[in-house]
């Protein structure tokens, strides 16, 4: 029988399209608020980073299909919660690192741009 941990592991294979290229799953984004397993039924409560997410239908489908691959799961229901509000504090350490800009590489580019502007 599938456990909550099994479902969370399956959800690590699901990506918001905006974060797929960086390998940040819905779990690492902090979108999963709760998972409940009741026999062959799984209920997932999730948050969105924004209420205007254009990919939410794709995300639902991806999560449902992936979790249905878990042993004994027949039905998956994903529910969007509006409380609590998602914030960047929910990011895992690995997601936070993947989303951090490399300032040591960007600062010299900024300095070059500012110097070029002064020369105008």
Per-residue model confidence as pLDDT tens for the chain (120 residues): 899 999 999 999 999 877 888 889 999 999 999 999 999 999 999 998 887 777 788 898 999 999 999 999 999 999 999 999 999 899 999 998 888 877 777 788 888 989 998 876
Q: What's the token pair of residue 97? A: 């690192």
Q: pTM value?
A: 0.80
d(CA 8, CA 32): 9
* Contact of 8 with 66, CB cutoff 8 Å: no
pLDDT value of residue 30: 95
pLDDT value of residue 49: 87
d(CA 14, CA 22): 12
* Domains of the chain, first to last: 4-119 (3.30.300.130)
pLDDT value of residue 104: 77
């Amino acid at each position: 029988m599938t456990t909550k941990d099994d479902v969370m592991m399956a959800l690590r294979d699901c990506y918001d399209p905006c974060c797929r290229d960086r390998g940040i799953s819905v779990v690492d984004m902090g979108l999963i608020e709760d998972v409940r397993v009741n026999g062959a039924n799984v209920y997932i409560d999730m948050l969105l980073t924004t209420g205007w997410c254009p990919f939410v239908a794709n995300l639902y489908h991806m999560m449902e299909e992936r979790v249905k691959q878990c042993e004994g799961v027949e039905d998956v229901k994903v529910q969007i919660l509006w409380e609590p509000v998602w914030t960047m504090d929910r990011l895992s350490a690995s997601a936070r690192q993947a989303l951090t800009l490399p300032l040591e590489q960007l600062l010299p580019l900024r300095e070059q741009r500012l110097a070029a502007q002064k020369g105008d």
